[in-house]
Amino acid sequence: MNMRKMWPILAALVVLTSACRLETNVSIDVNEDGSGTFTAEIGLDQEMRDALEGFGGSDDLLSGLDLGDGTPTETRTEGDMTYISATQSFADPTELKTVVDANQDQASFEEFELDVTEDGARLIARTGPLAGEDGTGADELPIDISALSDDFFSANIFVKLPGTVKKENANEIMADGRLRWAISVTDPIDIEAETSLGSNGIPWLPIGIAAVAILGVGAYAVTRRKDDPAKAALGSTEAPPAPMGFGDAATEAGRATQSELPPELPPQ
């Protein structure tokens, strides 16, 4: 079953029931060496699964979704949402392009170019609307699915590039550093992001040079002091005690003895 052909129909069910929740996500995680993973998933709440019973049952629909181009799917539950996803690994940007081209049902990229170098990464892409030419067009439906609220329907592309984000036009930067672009049902979306693998802004090189210079001056001063015996002796000799205010000890003792003698008698 072609996923892209089903999107307008699924979105129409959300509008008609006014209680369903539908979500589709494509996640691309890129490592510093250019490798990474590509994940496609669809999430449905219980109301949506019940509404799909009229289309042969939600289990049959989900089992027919070509998520991950035949890659085995995984299921997880978050609250009342059930997500079915598939993940493929890629070794480099060229292989990622092949994976993207093989998963056009999940995100129809009209352009996709990823470059990863030792300086950082750069992504330039353009994704077409969910209601593409190869599926049921939005204008063929009796409702305006472009007016869908994010509370009931959302389609997103998440991208995690290595390094620090320098430039992006994403709708949101997630707490984990991923960039999120909302896919439009009716309009193409341009994607642009650039990251840097350089330093985090701390000038380590100037700091290192200053530290080496300070250590060198200190070592030079210590060496000069050791090479000059006079300065070294002077620096190690203790200062003499301050002179006593009333002479030395011997002088003071003599004065004390004289003061104890009786006065000289006058001549007879």
Residues 6+ apart with CB under 8 A from 19: 47
* pLDDT at position 123 over 90: yes
- Provide mean pLDDT across the span 196-210: 61
User: Distance of alpha carbon 36 from its chain centroid, rounded?
Assistant: 15
CB 189 within 8 A of CB 111: no
Q: What is the DSSP annotation of 151-214?
A: TTEEEEEEEE-SSEEEEE--SEE-TTS-EEEEPPSSS-EEEEEEEE-S--S--HHHHHHHHHHH
Backbone angles phi, psi at 50, to 5 degrees: -65, -40
Alpha helices in 18-111 (DSSP H): 46-51, 58-64, 93-102
Measured from the Cβ of residue 27, the count of other Cβ atoms closer than 10 Å reads 19
The pLDDT tens digits of the residues spanning 94-106 come to 999 999 988 776 6
pLDDT, one tens digit per residue, over 47-96 is 888 777 766 555 555 554 555 555 677 888 998 898 988 899 999 999 99
Here the tokens at position 32 are 């510093």
Do strands 164-168 and 189-196 pair parallel, antiparallel, or not at all (unpaired)?
A: antiparallel
CA–CA distance, 148 with 18 (Å, rounded to integer): 10
Across 16-25, 135-144, 151-160, 240-249, which has the greatest mean pLDDT? Answer: 151-160
Q: State the pLDDT confidence band at 125, using cuts at 50, 70 and 90.
A: very high
Tens of pLDDT, residue by residue over 111-121, are 999 999 999 99
Burial of 90 (0-12, 13-18, 19+ CB in 10 A): buried
Instruction: Give this prediction's pTM.
Output: 0.66
Which one is predicted more confidently, 130 or 266?
130
pLDDT tens-digit series, residues 11-24: 666 666 666 788 88
Q: Mean pLDDT over residues 181-206, rounded?
A: 78
Three-state DSSP class for residue 115: strand
Residue range 23-44, pLDDT digits in tens? 889 999 999 999 999 998 888 8
pLDDT bracket for residue 45 (50, 70, 90)? confident
Which region, left, alpha or beta, applies to residue 177 given φ > 0 means left and ψ of -120 to 50 means alpha?
Answer: left
Tell which residue, 187, 224, 186, 234, has the closest CA to residue 8: 186
Q: How far, in Å, CA of 197 to CA of 215, rounded?
A: 31
pLDDT of residue 12: 64
Token look-up 């991950």 returns 68
Q: How far apart are CA 165 and CA 158, in angstroms?
A: 14
Q: Phi, psi (5° rounding) for residue 161?
A: -105, 150
